[in-house]
Amino acid sequence: MKKPPVSRLFGVVLLWATLVRADTPSIPVTTKAEKSGPVFVNEIVIGSDTELKATDTDYRHVSFYHASWGLSQAVPVGESGNLTFGLAYTLSHRRVTDPPSWEDNSWKEFKSTHPDWNRIPIPRVLQSLSASIEYGQTIDDYWSISSCISTGSYTAKKGLLSDGWGAATSVMAQYKWSPTLTLAFGAAYDSLSHDYRYVPLVGFDWQFSDKWSAAIGFPSTAVTYTMNRHLSMAIELSGAGGTYHVKDDPAPGAAVRSLASSKLETTEVRLGFKIGWKINDTYSISATTGHVVYREYKYIDRDYKLRSHDISEFGAISGTISF
């Protein structure tokens, strides 16, 4: 059985610094590009209503959607290396959904005791624009190495190209333990993050039958069943988020301290069922449905955070075009 490609294992341990800071589909390094043209990736994630809690204040009927676009171009280097240039843009939007009927007594009571229920201390828009360079090299039949460096702007609302600049870097090694098992380990650094500034990268890809495989790591862990060369199904646990510069306080007075000129770190953990369809060598799409089991918005330099108070639903669709 052939060795799992670098791109597949990167989907497991994928450069944490890139994915956690920007909710972006990563375009991983491969030692040999399947096609010589650019690759375009798009993903849209829509969440249902959720409840957030900050200290002793509840914020109900909050929903989020995320969108991301990525473009990369791989350039072969020698016989066993690959250099990939990438550009990515992400957008995260928060909104307060329509409240329930005014006949709902519990809702009327909540509104009367929480007059600022719709003044949520989270920016309405978070966005990022980043560029990256990744290099992968096959050393021999057992070892491969890869490295990545990226820089970009991560900010709320306006000022995308003037505020919130940061950089991330990572290095990873892969070892082919057996024809069916590949191990990966390394480290990543993110200049903007607080909780995840220095992160170890550990994972493995195990093809334990012709149709079943397990990929364990972070930010994605999945068990996949491959029906045929075009269709696959998976149970996936994934993480996403980012760290953003917040210039203006999104809800003055909601927090004890002003949230202006601060940094906001977001974390989201999703558990879902995913179906992937490779239409042909050019087009592929996937759809995922499941639950957001954890969500946190943390102002890392203000000692203030909001956490999900329940488990909410989400749906996602993504597509890839390989030219």
Spell out the domain ranges in the chain: 6-322
Q: What is the pLDDT of residues 45-102, one digit of tens each?
A: 999 989 899 987 888 889 999 999 999 999 999 889 999 999 999 999 998 766 655 5
Place of tokens 């959720």: 50
Q: Which range among 30-39, 126-135, 146-155, 224-233 shows the weakest confidence by mean pLDDT?
A: 30-39
Instruction: Give yes or no for residue 17 having a pLDDT over 90.
Output: no
Does the pLDDT at position 202 exceed 70?
Answer: yes
Q: How many CB atoms lie within 10 A of CB 57?
A: 16
14 vs 316: CA distance, rounded Å: 19
CA atoms of 306 and 288, how far apart (whole Å): 26
Average the pLDDT over 129-146 and give the result: 95
Cβ(287)–Cβ(312) below 8 Å: no
Q: What is the pLDDT of residue 286?
A: 97
pLDDT number for residue 61: 83
Superfamily of domain 6-322: monomeric porin ompg (2.40.160.40)
Please check the confidence at residue 304 and state whether its pLDDT lies above 80.
yes
Write down the pLDDT at residue 1: 36
Q: Name the residue with higher pLDDT: 110 or 25.
A: 110
* Whether residue 163 has pLDDT greater than 80: no
Residue 156 pLDDT greater than 60, yes or no: yes
Strand partners, 185: 173, 202
Report DSSP letters for 196-261, one per residue: TSEEEEEEEEE--SSSEEEEE-SSEEEEEEE-SSSEEEEEEEEEEEEEEEE-S-SSTTSSSS--TT
Rounded to whole angstroms, the Cα distance separating 203 from 211 reads: 20
Q: In this model, does residue 274 exceed pLDDT 50?
A: yes
Residue 215 has a pLDDT of 93
For residue 8, report the phi and psi dihedrals to the nearest 5 degrees: -70, -45
In whole angstroms, what is the distance from residue 304 CA to residue 307 CA? 10
